[in-house]
Amino acid sequence: MNDSTRAVQAALTDDLRRPPWRGKANPLAGHCYVASEALAHILRSEGHTVKPMFVRHEGAPHWYLLVDGVGIVDATAGQFREPPPYSEGRGKGFLTSEPSKRAAELLRRIGVTK
């Protein structure tokens, strides 16, 4: 699982971010949704039960995953000054059941086809 997280992180680029995060110096900022969505598809294909989670942190929305048998998987936690308050997170579904256009591109970049 760490390899998948590292692969997703390495493939994140500014074109996958939405405003207002485009152009931010921190390479993880603004990527939490697309990174979580891509990782969820990878982890589910490996047989894991994955629950997308949402919390507001440092004035912005933040997405991460709760994975049965593993715990919290947060590929973009490094963007924050303080750790996110995961205990305040709420389960929230992604906007689409299949990978979104941005998540599909991210999966393509790391060699995962959906």
Per-residue pLDDT of the chain (114 residues; tens, 9 = 90+): 589 999 999 999 999 999 989 999 999 999 999 999 999 999 999 999 999 999 999 989 999 999 998 999 999 999 999 999 999 999 999 999 899 999 999 999 999 975
The pLDDT value given to residue 113 = 76
Q: Is residue 18 part of a domain?
A: yes
Q: Residue 99 falls within a domain, yes or no?
A: yes
pTM for this one? 0.93
Residue 114 falls within a domain, yes or no? Answer: no
Residue 102 in any domain: the answer is yes
Give a yes or no: residue 53 inside a domain.
yes
Adjacency order of strands within the sheet including 60-67: 71-73, 60-67, 50-57, 90-91
Q: What is the CA radius of gyration of the chain?
A: 13
Q: To 5 degrees, how large is the angle CA 65–CA 55–CA 8?
A: 40
User: Is residue 22 assigned to a domain?
Assistant: yes
Question: Looking at the 3D structure of the chain, how many domains does it have?
Answer: 1
Rounded CA separation 106/101 (Å): 9
Find the domain containing 61 and state its range: 2-109
* Residue ranges of E strands in the chain: 50-57, 60-67, 71-73, 90-91
Q: List 63's β-bridge partners, or say none.
A: 54
